[in-house]
Amino acid sequence: MNDYVRKILDARVYDVAVQTPLDPMARLSKRLDASVLLKREDLQPVFSFKIRGAYNKIARLSAEARAAGVICASAGNHAQGVALSAQRLGVKAIIVMPVTTPQIKVDAVRYWGGTVVLFGDTFDEAFEHARGLEAEQGLTFVHPYDDPDVIAGQGTVGMEILHQHADPVEAIFVPIGGGGLASGIAAYVKFLRPDIKVIGVEPVDAASMKAAIAAGSRVILDRVGLFADGVAVRQAGAETFRVCQALLDDVLVADTDEMCAAVKDIFEDTRVIAEPAGALALAGLKSYVAANPVRTGALIAINTGANMNFDRLRHVAERAEIGEAREVLLGVTIPEQQGSYRRFVQALGNRTITEFNYRYAAGAEAHVFVGLKLSDSVGEKALVLTQLAALGYPVLDISANETAKLHVRYMVGGRAPALRDEVILRFEFPERPGALLKFLDGVGSEWNITLFHYRNHGADYGRVLVGLQVPAAESDRFGERLRELGYAFEDETDNPAYRMFLDR
């Protein structure tokens, strides 16, 4: 810790970075009955804290290294931080970005003077290409997190927090991707104020640091979720793991809906739209409050960035209410007879209906996909389920069903009574021009496509729900084709939402 504290105190960040405010979140504090503060790293020149570590690293290079230039691999905030830092210091910067990177991020890097090289579909491919260029051209690689100078630059966030809030602090919540920010903040805060908890927060589907700490050594995740792309890291850094393992009090996880709810919380208090990774710490803070009703000081979350693709806002808005537990999604079975539709709506009472999907189906039963807005009162969801069950309506709570939320809600009404051997798969693939056609070419035409739903969420990865007729005798060959395709997928054939609304 001593070494890092000295490096943080000596860090060169304020030539380009600004000391960001620590703002009270009045509305959320009242709702949670807690003192909640937000560290506003979204107000940096590149709308992210990454400028701190990038500038500190480049500023400390030798004259020879600066003359040769720097290189990094990044699809987002680190890329912009390196580009701006290099521009201010008169250093050539090459930024390797996956070809799937949204154009807004590519344009931002070019605006700050970086030379963009687009390579590969994934960050790992871009990273390896950048390392190759580093060796070929004698460049200095600026790592996004696993570098002591980068860690020290990020640690100035912790230094500012302690200067800005002298009153009691119970915990500081820090988002973790590779762990550079968490390492820097923990090193500084634990040296000066060991009583303050430093708690990391990761997406539940990209929790590489939590897995590493639990295992006692770094692990490589098979795959990571990409909603919070700024922290979607398969393996924690070597140096950051060493520091975080020693100094963090805990690592919490948050899911997509909780991050969306936190984006909304930040907007309501500041009128700023945080990116998912930027809202991650606040999502963890909220789960901490729910588990710890007795508190002894302020709770501080770091909004690490606001580089949000505009197209993603519709997805965030759809999921925020569920993340706040203010909306419930239900699959309800009603009698397929005259008047039953009206009687069911009457049974919902005066509750606000957020979504209602229904189509006539032959047979004695019909299924309704319905969303209901909930109040802040505890237990209202359970009350709704109990009331409907008491009236004789079989109810399936699908609020946590990812396939239902991503796909089924847009597909209610279609069935194929004579269909046999249907397999349902949910895929993720790199979102780039021609990606959908490439996906279909990879699946091939040997198996009949029976269902297909694709929706562009403005993210780096596309999501598809696809049904195919695969006779049992061909399952092994079909499995081999999926392995050759190489895209992450989940088998959703037994998903209850699919069974209720789309299955024959």
Q: pTM of the prediction? A: 0.79
Q: Where are the domains of the chain?
A: 2-48+148-321, 50-141, 325-400, 414-501
Are 236 and 186 a contacting pair, CB within 8 Å?
no
| Average of per-residue pLDDT values in the chain | 89
**CATH class for domain 2-48+148-321?**
alpha beta
* CA 426 – CA 453 distance, rounded (Å): 10
Whole-number pLDDT of residue 457: 57
Q: Which CATH number fits domain 325-400: 3.40.228.10, 3.60.15.10, 3.30.70.260, 3.90.1150.10?
A: 3.30.70.260
2-48+148-321 and 50-141 agree in CATH topology: yes
Asked: is 50-141 a CATH 1.10.8.50 domain? The reply is no
Nearest to 8 by CA among 198, 251, 186, 167: 186
Residue 351 CB neighbours (<10 A): 15
pLDDT on residue 393: 92
pLDDT category at 360 given cuts 50, 70, 90 is low
pLDDT, tens only, 229-240: 888 888 999 999
Instruction: Write out pLDDT tens, residues 239-248.
Output: 999 999 999 9
DSSP-derived letter for residue 352 is P
Q: Show Cβ contacts of residue 492 under 8 Å, excluding neighbours closer than 6 positions.
A: 403, 424, 425, 426, 465, 498
Say how far apart CA 334 and CA 359 lie, in whole Å. Answer: 12
Of 275, 281, 279, which Cα lies nearest the Cα of 108? 275
Q: What is the pLDDT of residues 303-339, one digit of tens each?
A: 999 988 777 787 788 788 777 777 888 999 888 777 7
Which residues, in sequence order, are CB contacts of 488 under 8 Å at separation 6+?
Answer: 223, 427, 428
The tokens describing 272, both together, are 């700023």
Closest CA to 80 of 276, 311, 310, 307: 307
**What does the pLDDT read at residue 58?**
97
150: Cβ contacts below 8 Å, ≥ 6 apart: 53, 54, 56, 57, 142, 143, 144, 180
Q: Is the pLDDT of residue 64 over 70?
A: yes
pLDDT at 288 over 90: yes
Per residue in 389-419, pLDDT (tens digit) is: 999 999 999 988 888 888 888 887 766 666 7
State mean pLDDT over 480-490: 85
pLDDT per position as a tens digit, 169-192: 999 999 999 999 999 999 999 999
CATH number of the 414-501 domain: 3.40.1020.10
Q: What are phi and psi of 425, to 5 degrees?
A: -130, 145
Q: What is the pLDDT of residue 362?
A: 65
H or E, element range at 153 = helix 148-164
pLDDT for res 269: 96
DSSP H or E stretch at residue 368? strand 365-373
Pairing of strands 197-203, 353-357: unpaired
For residues 182 and 248, give the distance between their C-alpha atoms in angstroms, rounded to a whole number.
8
Q: How confident is the model at residue 453 (pLDDT cuts 50, 70, 90)?
A: confident
**What pLDDT does 10 receive?**
96
